[in-house]
Amino acid sequence: MVRLISIFVGIGFAFVAMVAFVIGVYGWATEPTEKTAEYTFHLYPRDFQFSFEGPFGRWDQVELQRGYKVYKEVCAACHGLEFVAFRNLADLGYSEAQIKAEAANWQVPGIDPVTGEATTRPGTPTDYFPSPYPNDVAARAANNNAIPPDLSLITKARPNGTDYTASLLTGYTDPNTFQIDGKLLRQEFPDFTVPEGLHFNPYFHSLNIAMAPPLTSTGQVTYDDGTEATIRQMSHDVAAFLTWAAEPKMIERKQTGWAALGFVLFATVLAYLAKQQIWAPVKPKNRKTKPNAS
Amino acid sequence: MSFPWAKQYQPANGFTKWIDEKLPLPRLVYNAVGAGYPVPRNLNYMWNFGVLAGFCLMMQIVTGVVLAMHYAANAQVAFASVEHIMRDVNWGWLMRYAHANGASFFFVVIYLHIFRGLFYSSYKAPREMIWILGVVIFLLMMATAFMGYVLPWGQMSFWGAKVITGLFSAIPLVGEPIQVWLLGGYAPDNAALNRFYSLHFLLPFVIAGTVILHIWALHIPGSSNPTGVEVKSESDTVPFHPYYTVKDGFGLGIFLLVFFTFVFFLPNFLGHPDNYIPANPLSTPAHIVPEWYFWPFYAILRAFTTDFIISAKLWGVIAMFASILIWFLLPWLDRSPVRSGHYRPLFRKFFWFGFMPALLVLFICGGAPAEQPYIMLSQLATAYYFLHFLVILPIVSAMETPEELPYSITQAVLHSDKKPVLGENTSPAV
Ligand code: HEM
C-alpha cells in the first residue's frame, strides 16, 4: 500500500516537473533571452599581486601606510570607515604618539561641553573614523543619488574584493573605444549610453558607476617614502589598506593556522600509528597465513 | 541490548563501585562507546561520520555559546556586534570562523553519513527507528542553520529570511497571515531576529537530545556494516574501545586538517560576499542564494515554474518539503532483502548513474541564477529525484536478483569462517 501510493505520488511530482520543463524549454527556444551589454562586456577583476596573499602572506606596513594616505586624502571625502578606530593604526607601524597626533587631525562628532549642542571635536585614538556625511540623504544629495558605501568591509563584500577594488579604480575607460576580443561595445550595443552623472567602468556590475574617477593623475598623493604615485600604484596601495581595514586579523589568523595544522598533523600521525598497531592482530595479514591467533 | 559476548563493566576500585551503585554513568559510557559495545570488525571509513557528526555538534555548541556572550540580537546593532567579535574580542575571529565553517562541515559530514545510509541501506529493519530519528535530526539541523545565518543581519541574512518565510505565503488563504505570524511583522525585523536567535540557541540542544535517542536506538541492533550481513558470532565483532575509538580518532585528525585549512586559510570561501553588506530592506541583491548545503533543495523549489491545478510556487514548496519527508518512508519503499549496495547490481546502477548525477545537477542548479539552462536541468533532475525514491527503488528492489552474500562478516574479512556449531553464540538475525 505504501509503495503503491508512493509510486503514484512519485509519478505525479515527476509529471508536473516535466510539464514545467516542456513549457520552459519551449519558451526558451522560441524567444531566447537577449544578451545584455552588462552580461557581455562586464570584466572580472584583474589579478594584482599583494604581499598578504597566500598562506605565508605578510602585511607590508609601508604599503599600508601609503594606502592609508590615499584613503585619507582622496576616498575619505566620500567614504567612511566605521569599523576602524584610530588606535587600530598601530598595525600599520605607527607609534602611540603618532596615532594620537593623527587622530587629532580628524574631526569627529561630539557634544559641546557647555551648551550640549551637537558639534565636532578632534579625534582621539579610541574614536572611529567618522563618516563624511551626517546621513544617507546628505550622501545621496552629494553623489548623484548614489550612496558611497562605507569601505570598512568592502574587500570582503565583493567577490575577489582586493583585486576588484584595485581593478575598479584603474578601470575607468572610454565606452566609445572599449572592446573585448575585438568586439566593440559601440558596435554590439549601439544603444548603450552612459547616463548623465555616471561614469563608464567595465569592472562595475552595471558598467556605469556613480563614482567619478577618484584617482586621475600621477602625483595626486605625495608619498612620504618617495614611491612614485602613479594611478596604478595608488590603487594598489589603497586596495591593500582596505584589505587590512576589512580583516585586520588576517595575518594573525594565517600564522595561527600553521600552528594549529602542525599540531593536528602530529596528532593525526600518532593516531594513525596507534590505529595500525591496535588493528594489526585482527587484520587479515594475507590470505595464506592462518587467521588471527588472538 | 548488545550481544551476549559483550564485555561487562567491572568497577576497578571502591570509588567507581560506589558510583556504579548510585549512578552507573561510567557503565553507560562503557556500554555505549567503550569496550562493552561489540561492533562489526569490517566497518570502512564511511562509518566514521557518525562520531564526526557528534564532534561537530559539540563544536558548534561550544563556539556558539562563546559567540552568544558577545553577540547582540538587535537589528540596529547585530551587524556591528559581529564585527566587534571579529575585531575586538580575543580570538573572536576564530570563534566566528569556526562556527560559520563548522556549520558547513557539519553538513558535509551529515551528507556523507546519510550517503552511507542510502548506499548500504542502513535504514532497513531492524534500524528503521535510527533512520527516522536521523531524518528528524537533519530537519532540525536545517532549521538551525537557516536561523543562524540570519543572525549577522547582512544582506543575505535579511533576504534569505524574507524568501524562505515568504514560501509560506504560497499556502492558499492562510499563507500571508502565517508569514506575518512567523516573522512578527510584514518583513524581517527586530521581532524576527530575536525569535530566530532564541530558537537558534535552543535547537542544538533539541538536536543533542535527539542524537541521544538516535544512538540509543542504534545500540539495540548494533551497527550495520559494509556487507550488510548481520553479526552472527563473536568473531564478527571487535569491542568499540580501543578498535573504533582509535580509528575514529584518526578520522577526526583527517577531518580537522581539512576543517582548519578552511577556517584559517579560506574562511570566507563557503560564504557569500553580500553578507558583509549590512541588511538593507530597500536594496535587493541581484542573486539571492542560500548557503551551499541548501542548494539541492532550493533547486527543487525553483524547478516548478508552471501553475498546474495549484500555483507553481505552492508546487515548489510542497516538493521541497516532500523531497526530504519521503526519506521517512525509505525503510518501506526499499523491499530488497539485501542491504549493501555492493550486492545489488541493479540498484547500484540506478544509484551511481541516476541518483548521484541528479543530485549533482540539483546542487549546481541550486547555486546558479534562476535562468536557462539551469531551470530546465533542475526540472529533469527533480523529476528523476522523485522517480528514484518513489518509483524506481520500490520496483527495482522487488525485481532484482542480488549477488551472493558472504556467509558472515568473519568470512568476508578472513575468507574463512567455521560454521556455527551447537552451543556456540549465534544470533538468528538475517
Ligand atoms: C547531529 C547529527 C547526527 C549525529 C551526531 C549522528 C550520530 C550517529 C552516530 C555516532 C552513529 C553511529 C556511528 C556510525 O554508524 O557512523 C550514527 C549512526 C546512524 N545514523 Fe546518525 N547522526 C546524526 C544524524 C543522522 C542523520 C541526519 C541521519 C539520516 C537521515 C542518520 C542516520 C543514521 C543511521 C541510519 C545510522 C546507523 C548506521 C549503521 O549502523 O549502519 N544520522 N549516527
Residue from the list A19, A268, A282 with its beta carbon closest to the beta carbon of B238: A282
**Contact check, Cβ <8 Å, A249/B261:** no
Residue recorded with cell 542573486: B287
Give the residue on A whose Cα is nearest the Cα of B412.
Answer: A284
**Contact check, Cβ <8 Å, A249/B87:** yes
The whole-number average pLDDT for the span B334-357 is 95
- Please check the confidence at residue B119 and state whether its pLDDT lies above 60: yes
The percent of residues in chain A predicted with pLDDT above 70, rounded, is: 97
Residue-level pLDDT at B424: 52
pLDDT in tens, A112-167: 989 999 999 999 999 999 999 999 999 999 998 899 999 999 999 999 999 999 99
The answer to whether residue B22 is catalytic is no
Measured from the Cα of B327, ligand 1's closest atom is: 30
How close B63 comes to chain A (CA, Å)?
17
Q: Which segments of B4-77 does DSSP mark as H helices, in order?
A: 14-22, 25-33, 49-68
For residue A229, give Cα distances in angstroms to A168, A220, A241, B303, B365: 17, 7, 15, 53, 46
How close B49 comes to chain A (CA, Å)?
17
- Please check the confidence at residue A33 and state whether its pLDDT lies above 80: no
Instruction: Write down the catalytic residue from B230, B236, B274, B291.
Output: B291
Measured from CB, residues less than 6 Å from any atom of ligand 1 are B 47, 49-51, 53-54, 57, 110, 113-114, 117, 122-123, 127, 130-131, 134-135, 137-138, 207, 211, 214-215, 218, 223-224
How many Cβ atoms are within 10 Å of A182's Cβ, its own excluded?
Answer: 5
Query: Which residue lies with its CA nearest to atom 28 of ligand 1?
Result: B134
The percent of residues in chain B predicted with pLDDT above 90, rounded, is: 88
Residue recorded with cell 597465513: A289
How far apart CA B231 and CA B429 sit, in angstroms, is: 8
How far apart CA B310 and CA B198 sit, in angstroms, is: 35
Measured from the Cα of B210, ligand 1's closest atom is: 1
**Contact check, Cβ <8 Å, A28/B315:** no
Global ipTM: 0.92
Question: What are the boundaries of each domain within chain A?
Answer: 42-84+129-250
Using CB atoms and an 8 Å cut-off, which of residues 130-189 of chain B contact chain A? none
How far apart CA B332 and CA A1 sit, in angstroms, is: 10
Residues with Cβ within 8 Å of B324's Cβ and at least 6 positions away in sequence, in order, are: B135, B138, B139, B142, B297
The whole-number average pLDDT for the span B380-401 is 95
Note the CATH number of domain B36-414.
1.20.810.10
CATH class of A42-84+129-250: mainly alpha
Q: For residue A90, list chain B residues with Cβ-Cβ distance below 8 A.
A: none
How far apart CA B193 and CA B158 sit, in angstroms, is: 9
Q: Which segments of chain A does DSSP mark as H helices, in order?
A: 2-30, 37-41, 61-73, 96-104, 136-142, 161-170, 185-188, 231-246, 250-279
Residue-level pLDDT at A286: 57
Residue from the list B93, B243, B413 with its beta carbon closest to the beta carbon of A249: B93
**CA A100 / ligand 1 centre spacing (Å):** 58
Mutate to test the pocket of ligand 1, among B124, B218, B430 (most ligand atoms within 8 A of CB): B218
How far apart CA B72 and CA B78 sit, in angstroms, is: 5
Interchain CB contacts (distance < 8 Å): A and B: 174
**CA B213 / ligand 1 centre spacing (Å):** 11
**Contact check, Cβ <8 Å, A10/B371:** no
How far apart CA B180 and CA B176 sit, in angstroms, is: 6
The residue among B128, B238, B265 with the most chain A CBs within 10 A of its CB, best to mutate, is B265
Residue-level pLDDT at B429: 43
- Please check the confidence at residue A288 and state whether its pLDDT lies above 60: no
How far apart CA B172 and CA B309 sit, in angstroms, is: 12
Confidence bin at A38 (pLDDT 50/70/90): confident
Query: Which residue lies with its CA nearest to atom 11 of ligand 1?
Result: B50
For residue B63, give Cα distances in angstroms to A268, B48, B103, B240, B245: 23, 23, 11, 29, 24
**CA B215 / ligand 1 centre spacing (Å):** 8
Question: What are the boundaries of each domain within chain B?
Answer: 36-414
Give which of A272, A59, A242, A254 is closest to A154, Cα–Cα.
A242
- 3-class DSSP state for residue A217? coil
Confidence bin at B419 (pLDDT 50/70/90): low
CB A144 within 8 A of CB A197: yes
pLDDT in tens, B177-206: 999 999 999 999 999 999 999 999 999 999
Confidence bin at B430 (pLDDT 50/70/90): very low
**Contact check, Cβ <8 Å, B390/A6:** yes
How close B19 comes to chain A (CA, Å)?
30
Q: For residue A260, list chain B residues with Cβ-Cβ distance below 8 A.
A: 260, 264
pLDDT in tens, B158-175: 999 999 999 998 888 898
Residue-level pLDDT at A294: 36
How close A195 comes to chain B (CA, Å)?
21
CA atoms within 13 A on the CB side of B401: 1
The answer to whether residue B17 is catalytic is no
Confidence bin at B417 (pLDDT 50/70/90): confident
Residue-level pLDDT at B371: 86
Residue-level pLDDT at A291: 42
How close B414 comes to chain A (CA, Å)?
6
Confidence bin at B428 (pLDDT 50/70/90): very low
Give the residue on B whose Cα is nearest the Cα of A291.
Answer: B414
Query: Which residue lies with its CA nearest to atom 32 of ligand 1?
Result: B134
